[in-house]
Amino acid sequence: MESPNQDLNLSYPIGRAQLPDGSLTATERTALIQQLAELPAQLTAVARAVGGEGLQRSYRPGGWTGRQVIHHLADSHLNSYSRYRLALTEEHPTVRPYDEKAWAELPDVAATPITVSLTLLEALHSRWVTLLHHLTDEQWQCTFYHPGMQRDFTLDQALALYVWHGQHHLAHLKLLLPAASA
């Protein structure tokens, strides 16, 4: 039987997200943007190493399969990119949450090859990173309200959150690696 700490380690293998209280420095932003830029290639490499059969397994009891994780990242990061654009073009917009668990159960998740979502993430992150490199210090302080989380986010905080989110799910996929399962 798994201990509660073991389950927490499988749910949050890199720990929970830590968001900055204030503004990030230019150096901090650059480092986070670089991590966001590198994520699609890292996901592709781990997905290849896990293999098609391995991606059908869950990384923990009751957790998503590797396939669902990859498709979820495409869904989630597409939403985040849209939230950036809303925050940059509207005054403190309220963003629309979505039921990520329900989305992970939609038929396209099982029917679509993961290469489609990996390609989508590569293109999306290219656009997103280009946008991020061109934001002014003032734009980084634009905000949006997330009613599902019941809080405001600056774009600095959203950057930290989505870099963590990518690394969080990358760590889930790494739990599926053959050496990790042995």
Integer Cα distance of 22 and 105 in angstroms: 37
**Homologous superfamily (CATH) for 32-181:** dinb family like domain (1.20.120.450)
Listed as ranges, residues in the chain with pLDDT below 50 are 1-4
| pLDDT attached to residue 64 | 96
Q: Where are the domains of the chain?
A: 32-181
| pLDDT attached to residue 106 | 97
Does the pTM of the predicted model rise above 0.85?
Answer: yes
Integer Cα distance of 81 and 69 in angstroms: 18
Integer Cα distance of 59 and 171 in angstroms: 9
Residue 146, classified by CB atoms within 10 Å of its CB into exposed (0-12), middle (13-18) or buried (19+), is middle
| pLDDT attached to residue 2 | 44
Which has the closest alpha carbon to 166: 97, 81, 86, 98? 81
| pLDDT attached to residue 178 | 82
